[in-house]
């Protein structure tokens, strides 16, 4: 792995070309000013929309302002992510965030106004102004929210309270990212150094159990110290969500969380129930892990270290990209050709540098192209991350190429499908092209652990969210003790009795940022299950599934997520896709055990 001191050392083709968005900062300033001027114009439509023509004028102006706002926001965000220490980029982003609040406030009148109209009146507006056809599906879809939208004055108040409602999340974010100081660990030379998150992710996989335990204890130390403060922020976030659900007349917070995607409570419950019914292979894997590591007691800090030693694959970025193109060949020549272009035209920022945002993501910017952020380390994990993010990027590309702006975005519910299909194709390609038993075992171990993290852990988190919201709705006080008791119970149910619990296990809830974005994590698991179903069919040579999958990638938000998936042969209202995914997991564990 190459270490870079600055971005100047990185070759051009491995860096974003942000001039694709704005050639000059002056161009960004022009669009910023345009949005700034359009915002009061939108507010000026309040009380003035009395016919189809006026309605079209408002909606077209709002779409223009919204698209420009997205563009200026993305440009400044990408600049900050390249170097979070860049004060000029930070000030640009701060200005756009403020502008975004002004835009939201200026247009907050519209939904209450729209839903105050009788549906027949709206349809007469659409009939008299043909240009409204473009917006008609969205307008009529809004009536689904009729019983959940308040009057104009109340919506204005809720809009102004947005910052207060997000305070628990912001407080946790500051605690978690800025204030928390982890305990110390012993360096290779015997000196003590403060643990960082980056160090922890490596140390928890270390072959040396003493290092793993030391890192684990040091990592959890501040969370145990701050357990009551963090419990207060989480309880506040849950109560806020429950209160908003009541204010907006939803039967429960869960149903509010599922409403936008038109997902029934049964789909959520079915995911949890089916997983728990078929949990035994995960318990079996814990037994295998204990035996492979030769331990008398398996503890939480033993769950991430690779079970196959001595396989350190060095995969340079260019080689990783070539491997990806081969692995994804079953998706067709067009798919592979477009992927080649992403690399050549600098859609990807590849290398880790000081100040750069950690992790990886894809961000699709309509009218420009996707931007993919990586922190590539020339290893197997980086290869999987590359393939995963390019799945998202291709989904963004195909939807933007085949849909107008209004339907180009896709729901988070289906977002993990394309990325995971790519990963399943990759693991299949790698397994088919290795003759080294140790490497094969290593790959199986990698995929099993990924399955565990993306599926089982997320289902456990989903059950934790559901139960804590139900506690709040029934008036049960939420505090560190309640959270810890529930989390420990769930961890035992999912991961089995083979694990000996350290005190830290039950405080796992305190370090999960996703809990501040309720009823989101289950989508990782449903997306993962759907992707396994689709990928297995494609690998079996099922041409119909390949064709419907390509249609799915091009569909954006032209239908509700469950309906889009049904067209590919995945029906998440039944246990079948979940059962198929769990069957695949069982096969992986069996093969790994036999090897």
Strand partners, 499: 298
Rounded Cα distance between 573 and 87, Å, is 48
Q: Is the dihedral of CA 488, 489, 490, 493 positive or negative?
A: positive
Q: Give, in degrees to the nearest 5, the angle at Cα 178 between 172 and 180.
A: 75
Burial class (CB in 10 A: 0-12, 13-18, 19+), 185: buried
Q: Are strands 370-373 and 361-364 parallel, antiparallel or unpaired?
A: antiparallel
Alpha-helix residue ranges (DSSP H) falling in 433-521: 437-451, 457-473, 480-495
Q: Give, in degrees to the nearest 5, the angle at Cα 302 between 297 and 304.
A: 155
**CA contacts within 13 A on the Cβ side of 594:** 7
Residue 218 phi, psi dihedral angles, 5° rounding:
-70, -35
At a CB cut-off of 8 Å and minimum separation 6, what does 12 contact?
Answer: 346
Q: Is the dihedral of CA 163, 164, 165, 168 positive or negative?
A: positive
Is 271:456 a contact under the CB 8 Å cutoff? no
Active site residue ranges: 389
In this structure, the chain runs to a length of: 595
Rounded Cα distance between 244 and 257, Å, is 11
Cα 419 to Cα 391, 396, 425, distances in angstroms: 4, 11, 10
Compute how many other C-beta atoms are within 10 angstroms of the C-beta atom of residue 141: 11
What's the start-to-end Cα distance of the chain, in Å?
30
């Amino acid at each position: 792995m190459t270490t870079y001191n600055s971005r100047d050392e990185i070759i051009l083709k491995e860096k974003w070309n942000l001039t694709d968005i704005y050639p000059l900062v002056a161009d960004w300033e022009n669009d910023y000013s345009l949005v700034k001027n359009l915002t009061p114009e939108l507010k000026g439509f309040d009380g003035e929309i009395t016919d189809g023509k006026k309605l079209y004028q408002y909606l077209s102006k709002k779409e223009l302002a919204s698209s420009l706002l997205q563009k200026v926001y993305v440009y400044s965000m990408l600049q900050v992510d390249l170097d979070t220490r860049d004060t000029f980029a930070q000030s640009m982003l701060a200005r756009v965030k403020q502008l975004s609040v002004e835009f939201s406030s200026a247009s907050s009148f519209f939904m209450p106004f729209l839903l105050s109209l009788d549906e027949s009146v709206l349809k007469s507006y659409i009939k008299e102004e043909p240009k409204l056809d473009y917006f008609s599906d969205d307008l009529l879809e809004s009536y689904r929210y009729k019983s959940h939208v308040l009057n104009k004055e109340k919506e204005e108040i809720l809009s102004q309270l947005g910052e207060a409602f997000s305070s628990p999340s912001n407080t946790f974010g500051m605690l978690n990212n800025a204030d928390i100081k982890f305990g110390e660990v012993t360096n290779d030379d015997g000196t003590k150094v403060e643990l960082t998150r980056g160090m922890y992710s490596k140390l928890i996989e270390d072959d040396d159990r003493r290092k793993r335990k030391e890192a684990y204890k040091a990592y959890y130390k501040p969370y145990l110290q701050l357990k009551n403060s963090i419990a207060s922020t989480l309880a506040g976030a849950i109560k806020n969500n429950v209160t908003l659900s009541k204010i907006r007349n939803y039967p429960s917070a869960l149903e509010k969380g599922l409403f936008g995607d038109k997902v029934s409570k049964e789909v959520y419950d079915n995911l949890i129930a089916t997983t728990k019914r078929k949990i035994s292979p995960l318990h079996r894997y814990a037994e295998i892990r204990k035996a492979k590591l030769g331990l008398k007691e398996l503890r939480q800090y033993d769950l991430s270290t690779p079970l196959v030693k001595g396989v350190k694959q060095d995969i340079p970025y260019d080689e990783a990209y070539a491997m990806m193109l081969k692995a994804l060949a079953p998706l067709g020549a067009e798919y592979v050709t477009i992927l080649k272009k992403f690399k050549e035209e600098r859609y990807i920022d590849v290398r880790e540098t000081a100040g750069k945002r950690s992790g990886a993501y894809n961000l699709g910017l309509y009218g420009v192209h996707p931007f993919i952020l990586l922190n590539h380390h020339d290893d197997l994990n980086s290869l999987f991350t590359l393939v995963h993010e390019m799945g998202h990027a291709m989904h963004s590309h195909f939807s933007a190429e085949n849909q107008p702006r209004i339907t180009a975005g896709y729901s988070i519910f289906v977002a993990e499908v394309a990325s995971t299909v790519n990963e399943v194709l990759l693991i299949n390609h790698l397994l088919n092209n290795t003759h080294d038993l140790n490497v094969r075992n290593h790959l199986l171990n990698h995929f099993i652990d990924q399955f565990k993290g993306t599926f089982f852990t997320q289902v456990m988190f989903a059950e934790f969210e559901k139960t804590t919201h139900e506690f709040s709705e029934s008036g049960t006080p939420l505090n560190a003790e309640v959270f810890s008791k529930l989390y420990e119970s769930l961890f035992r149910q999912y991961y089995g009795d083979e694990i000996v619990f350290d005190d830290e296990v039950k405080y796992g809830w305190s370090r999960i940022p996703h809990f501040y974005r309720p009823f989101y994590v289950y989508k990782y698991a449903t997306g993962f299950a759907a992707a396994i179903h689709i990928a297995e069919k494609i690998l079996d040579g099922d041409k119909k599934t390949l064709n419907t999958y390509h249609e799915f990638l091009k569909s954006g938000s032209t239908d509700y997520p469950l309906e889009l998936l049904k067209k590919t042969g995945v029906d998440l209202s039944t246990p079948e896709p979940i059962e198929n995914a769990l069957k695949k997991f069982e096969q992986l564990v069996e093969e790994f055990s036999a090897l």
